[in-house]
Chains A and B, each alone.
Chain A
């Protein structure tokens, strides 16, 4: 294959102009940039409009793409239902779920509370929930509603909870400022306060 010939700009331009001129004479079609350079210069407004349209559309398109991508990536299966009751409310993973940002958000927004779905029409196959989920299921608590009976916990979490409760009581008996500090610490949003206070 021959080496690429570096085109002499002037010669190339002249050749191209001749070529275009001959073709134009053949076709007798108006060629605005060559035939009417002054009028073609006025067409700049159209290209400016087009570029500004694109600049208008880029920002919302980018934003919408980011929003949809993030929303789809955070909840792969439950994009619409905002995290259905997918965990039993007493397990360890349930606490992790409630303490996560999604759980906190759904506790604030209370998405799904009070929804009663009509029973499916007979004959339609529905996915039955697992037996363990049904056994461990409790109705959704509203924010501020307390767990009945303190919610017995096992293991390190239970010991920590008992210790915190003991300390809270002792502090309340000893000094109000310390108790207030303790309560403040308990209510700090980084911790899952609803599972500790009972």
Chain B
């Protein structure tokens, strides 16, 4: 019943989209408000219907209803409940459903918030959003349905990919997809504004909030993905320039550029073509990101399934690109700048440079990501570029970006004078240079120029942001006589955009300090150790104290049947530092072809990292036990255990685990000492806090009205013929 209801609901969702597009456009063309409202309500209806669809599939996963093909293919009775709930988006069809469901929810929020604003723009924006909805519900209804069923239903499912059994997988995809879908909202409003030739201050006000929310969600999603990679994938890194990682970074970079350059349009009426191009590119890149995750067109550790959806996605992306170019070219008259850059020593100029660097970064990443396809098209053979290629270009560009994020907050709009620049940059510049000198002394022969450059630039940013807060609090105290804490709170709450933005810059600086330190000064070794043996890594002594083995007692609660691990003691200068417990979990095979015992652990295996995280350094370990050494015992178990007795097979597996505990063969270890990785996550949290401050709605209507009245009174006192 659930599957039939789901299929019918998907068709209904598609119908709602088609109707809503028609109603909104008809209302816009004829000026009939009731049709526009009906189109708007179609977005709410879409959210309602897709919520029903999502609930059906979520319930099917939680109940392990294997009559649903997608449940049988991506879950099992042994998958822990927590991961059953998250398994919905591990499948292609489930993740597409999550995408369009989030699209419908965020679109509903956007359409509701703007219900009394931008009346000429909203109908077109509604049509564009429902167009995206129609595309995805069409895919779900006809090409990748989550409601496919099999009869008779299998008694057991394949289970969730072990790599996805990590807590961040519960929130990483929804965050990422929220970012992608939220970026379609500024895109839709930009299309609407260009159609009606209206890119004014109201439009900016409406889309800025959604662009900021999209930027924030996507940023959190990217960071959670990095955290997952670090803690789950067993290679010890958090960023590998993988196509799917890159796909999520590209819209974020262009979104960052847009959030900065839209301020120039808001204040000066400049860069309208640039801003329209950025916001349309961001929306298109968000769809491209979804396409890369789901299509399997490029090799990726994150692409959990190849698909046949490439052609529709390519057509959609082609339409978006061509349509965007047409709109910008045909509306170039209304997009003409109202002013010109007054001075190269101004915040506008810094923002422009920051935009060029961000777009340059995006271009480098785009080129590197699609190089395999480009090379195949040109030379006939697929070649790819690796992290060193990306690092060669992205490291210097990021350095410039961090430096600019320090300059931006302290330079004045329109025209800064040299005297003011000197006054404002002196302390931060000294702070940055002192940091550089100290670090050059500390690092000795092990100097890494790029990393030291990053520390210097980050210190400069910390200096500028600190100085801004200090001066702001001092000014506030001079006016009100408040205590420093009260003054700080008042300052931030009355200037949320400004101080939220500064906080984001501070968080980004700390994040890049973490990236630079952990990349440049990491010590890593791959070694084979027997019990009792030890090895030195980065000044720490790792000793393999003893082996561990457990059956259905997975310490990480990921549902692994067998868990083989190690107790690793870490010392420094003979002093105990920590004890690590790396292990590797083995999961059931999708079928019984490996015998009753072998099938219990014959599926995919995944690392459970042993990690001691700290502000100064992370001590990281992963183990690859020699499971082949146990194969004779597994084969013997397969021969003696009857096929229909999994309980007996478990007893045999317990005996094998006991054998491993008694005498384990040497195991392969990856051991890493990585400085300041925690700064990346802390920096991310600060960015999140700053973003929330900047996004927080302005004071209530009454407070704003009082303020406006005051400024209005002031204006009356101002001379009227003093324009400079």
Chains A and B form a bound pair:
no
Question: Interface of A with B (CB < 8 Å)?
Answer: none
